[in-house]
Chain A
Amino acid sequence: MTTIAETAARRRHAGRTRLSARHREWIAGYLFVLPDALGLLVFLGVPMALSLVLSVFEVNGFGGYSFVGAKNYLRMWNDPLFWKGATVTALYAIMLVPLLYTCGLGLALLVQRTDRFNAVMRSMFFAPHMVSLVVVALVWQFMVVDKIGVISRLTAALGIGGFSFLGDPNFALITIVLVSVWFLMGFYMLIFLGGLQDIPRQYYEAAMIDGAGAIARFWFITLPLLKPTSFFVIMVSMVAAVAGAQAFDIIYVMTKGGPANATSVLIVYIYQQAFGFGAFGYAAAMASILVVVLMIVTAVFFALTRGGRFNHEQ
């Protein structure tokens, strides 16, 4: 004769074993992902959807909404400042992404050996990333100020001075790119370091026995085996160039989009339309287009590189 408690325990046990180990693992995996997925949905998915809805309304910024259909999108087509912003954004990305890739990888190769000196150097290269972007922008603004900034004095001493880093439309965007690279390269160095440490040492040893030099080892071993890391770096830096915090903060503090809109990347223009002019609907339309373009570029890049997978992987 069994007691009620024993019967209940048996039922619980039977309930547990109803699922196979594979299913339980499958459920556990999704449960682990769930909090992050919920966060993305609430803080990214929902605002993106709302932004898309907002883009077909004219919003006066004081609670007044009126449906305007595609008017905001048509306005964008005829707005020279939107196209100026798109051009500046593209130029910024074209300059920033290769520079970040090269500097990040270069630094990682320089400090990849694990000794005390390299540990200090790694910390130093990563240090800018720990500082507030506003502080970074203010310090650089001071260093490149006309005539008396330390870098302006240095370039003048080298005989290449006489120009304004941030006040001349021909140099302002390049200066912003260089400051962005200085700020971000430590982060990408860390990612590349992770990738480099995954490459088995035996490959290099075998290559050296075969007489391969440093350049050949880099070209035929390091670079191909960094393919997944490279894919990640290029993707992330591209997103950072178009919509990253540094793209907004540094420009907003250092130039406010000037001189003569030379550094007015799209997110600065979107911000100006939304918060400066109260044109929230128009700003949402531009933001939506920006996201769509970014997604298309990402998808094309993903397809071309097979998501950074090696050729032997499926």
Chain B
Amino acid sequence: MSDKKKAFPTLTRRGLLKGGAAVAGGLVGLGGFPYINRLAVRAQETPLKFWQFYAPGGPVASQVAWFEKTVADWNDSHPQKIELEFIPNSEYISGPKLATAFASGEGPDIFIISPGDFLRYYNGGVLKDLTPFIDETAKADFPESVIANRMVDGKIFGIPMEVEPMAMYYSVKAFEEAGLNENDVPKTWEELLEVAKKLTTPERFGVMFETQPGYYQNFTWYPFLWQGGGEFQTADGKSSFDSPATVQALKFWQDAINGGVAPRQIMGAGGHDTIANLASGYVAMQNVGIWGISQLQSNAKDFQYGVFRLPTPPNGKYVTVGGGWAFVANAKGRNSDAAGEFCAWALASKEQGSIDRVATWCTKGKSDMPPRNSALKAGGAAFSTGMIGKFAEEIHPGTRAEPRVPPEVYKIISDAIQQTQLGGADPQATATSASQQLDAFLSGYQGAPIL
């Protein structure tokens, strides 16, 4: 019996604990320390990481296909490989993913940013100067109004992939139900509110402006500020927010809410979502960008709609805002030169492939205006017919680039919009208060110029 015990020792509690401790120690020793583990991985030839949010299975299949082809074409012809990483949209835009990655020194090598985020990353010192990788002729191909808000001291830190001007979309069915047609499309703010009133029913709002606080709401409000000649800062960097133009723009959005013709709460993913708001019949007119064309084309093919340019205030001048994302390279990345070269190769090379790539993104991936003159030509009829043609001819010529502002400035303007639009605050008092806050911030601001 005792011999048997020796040959097959029973499992004791102590034995189990000892064994467990040994296994855990072994695991920790082999790979439990993330830093050591990471060093081992880094020693290998790892591909550069390219973060963006056009994920497989997204609403528009051609968008992810464009990204995949761009990276595949680069990998076929370059030794430094690149790998796409898809970050969920909510994590990426105003989400924690990029912020935590950079805070821990693990930011992606290549990523995309909007003008609203530009200063944060530039002032943080992580944007690579892409100028050395861009040919002079290619640089001249980008209109000043498109590239300016990605430049500091004459150097390019981001290459735009699209220009997305804002406009008004309307439902043909809603217009017909209200006895209206395309000749009734409003041209002034006053007309817009009148038409919206006619379109409003117990189950539908006449017009919609973004109501959720965020960079996007500010972006959509800027043209209404500019149309009356307003700005948020003077040329010498002081606040000019306390102006009749600001008050007028704040009051316009407030009037739309108070008049009961615009919703306080929007549907779906937000004010940029045409399917959940316009196509669903929740609103009859929607303030949204050029991307609405591809959204409706992909997800509501039978929906009849029209587009018109933003109405203007009394004595105002037509202007709209053009947003859009840009490729940027991480200056502190593993191979920032290759990352910078990739950005230029993809979007800003004088090669025909680069020009066609931009044109393809703006016509097949999305429905955008191209940021390059040559891509506008390469797109041919795609930019002169249909809804995009309307944008190219009527809406885009009045486009002004989306301002780049630090987060603090964004927040002050955002609060002013929210307080007046939904909080019922007095527009004049709000503009004065916001202007004082802006002055307090701008007087101590150190960083790249706010544009």
User: Residues on A close to B: CB < 8 A?
Assistant: 59-64, 81, 141-142, 144-148, 164-169, 255-262, 271, 274-280
Contacts and interface: CB of A to CB of B under 8 A. Distances in A.
Contact of A61 (B99, B214, B265): B99
Nearest to B408: A277
Contact of B103 (A62, A166, A262, A271): A62
Interface stretch (B65-73, B319-327, B415-423): B415-423
Nearest to A147: B203
Contacts of A164: 263-265
Given A169-B424, A261-B415, A275-B100, 10 more contacts: A60-B124, A144-B265, A145-B267, A147-B205, A167-B211, A169-B422, A256-B212, A258-B211, A258-B422, A277-B408
Contacts of A148: 203, 282
A277 B264 CA distance: 26
Main secondary structure on A side of the interface with B: loop
Contacts of A59: 103
Contacts of A166: 264-265
Contacts of B58: none
B213 interface: yes
Contacts of B203: 147-148
Contacts of A259: 211, 213, 264, 418, 421-423
Contacts of A257: 213
A274 B279 CA distance: 36
Contact of B94 (A141, A165, A276): A276
A101 B267 CA distance: 33
Nearest to B417: A260
Contacts of A147: 202-205, 263
A108 B173 CA distance: 52
A91 to B, nearest CB: 16
Interface string B419-431: 1011111000000
A125 B170 CA distance: 44
A195 to B, nearest CB: 36
A276 B407 contact: yes
A145 B94 CA distance: 24
Most B CB contacts (10 A, CB to CB) among A62, A144, A146 go to: A62
A146 B264 contact: yes
B124 A258 contact: no
Contacts of A271: 96
A71 B263 CA distance: 41
Interface in B196-211: 202-205, 211
A167 B94 contact: no
Contacts of A165: 265
B411 interface: yes
A159 B362 CA distance: 49
B282 A258 contact: no
24 contacts: A62-B102, A62-B332, A63-B102, A81-B411, A142-B267, A145-B263, A147-B202, A147-B263, A165-B265, A166-B265, A167-B211, A167-B264, A168-B422, A169-B423, A258-B213, A258-B418, A258-B422, A260-B415, A260-B418, A261-B418, A274-B99, A275-B96, A277-B407, A277-B408
A56 to B, nearest CB: 17
B103 A256 contact: no
B126 interface: yes
Interface bracket on B = 35 or more
Contacts of A61: 99, 102-103, 120, 124
Nearest to B120: A278
A146 B263 contact: yes
A260 B202 contact: no
| B103, B211, B265, B267, most chain A CB atoms within 10 A | B265
B24 to A, nearest CB: 12
Given A260-B418, A260-B419, A275-B95, A63 B103 contact: yes
Contacts of B407: 276-279
A145 B205 CA distance: 12
B299 to A, nearest CB: 18
A15 B2 CA distance: 23
B105 interface: yes
A167 B213 contact: no
Nearest to A252: B90
B263 A168 contact: no
B125 interface: yes
B35 to A, nearest CB: 16
A260 B202 CA distance: 26
Given A146-B265, A148-B282, A280-B103, A256 B214 contact: yes
Nearest to A149: B265
A218 to B, nearest CB: 41
Q: Which 5 A-B pairs have the closest CB atoms?
A: A167-B264, A260-B423, A62-B124, A259-B422, A277-B407
B383 to A, nearest CB: 35
A18 to B, nearest CB: 16
A167 B210 CA distance: 11
A198 B188 CA distance: 71
Given A256-B214, A257-B213, A261-B415, A278 B99 contact: yes
Interface string B89-127: 000001110011011010000000000000010011110
